[in-house]
Amino acid sequence: MSADWKKRPHLSAGLHLYLPSKGGRASAIRGQYFSCPLMIHGEAFDCRVLLNGATLEPGSSGVFDVVLLNWHLARQHFSVAAEFEIWEGRPIGRGVVQELYDVQ
């Protein structure tokens, strides 16, 4: 994958992190990006949630751009309003696609 993957997100999604009491993370995600598997239609794809310095606390929601590392394989599963989960050994949050970008 080229080094410019951070500049070419594939989609925008509303993300919600589950509370620890609901099986989510105990700590926030923060930094420039968060790497995790994304599960959609029973298939897993590696993704990067582009945080750009933002923080997402357990139990909170936000809208973020997302890069799929194997977009050519994942593309068929995504449409506006498609629902997915993000994982870290277990489901830690859910997302809904808000926009697909015109990316090859």
In whole angstroms, what is the distance from residue 13 CA to residue 27 CA? 21
- According to CATH, the topology of domain 8-100 is Elongation Factor Tu (Ef-tu); domain 3 (2.40.30)
Q: Among candidates 84, 95, 30, which has minimal Cα distance to 61?
A: 95
This prediction's pTM: 0.91
d(CA 95, CA 72): 20
Give the chain's mean pLDDT. Answer: 93
**Size of the chain, expressed as the number of residues it contains:** 104
Percent of the chain at pLDDT above 90?
A: 89
Output the pLDDT for position 1: 45
Residue 104: the pLDDT is 62
The answer on pLDDT for 4 being more than 70 is: no
E strand or H helix that includes residue 71: helix 71-74
Binned at pLDDT 50, 70 and 90, residue 68 comes out as: very high
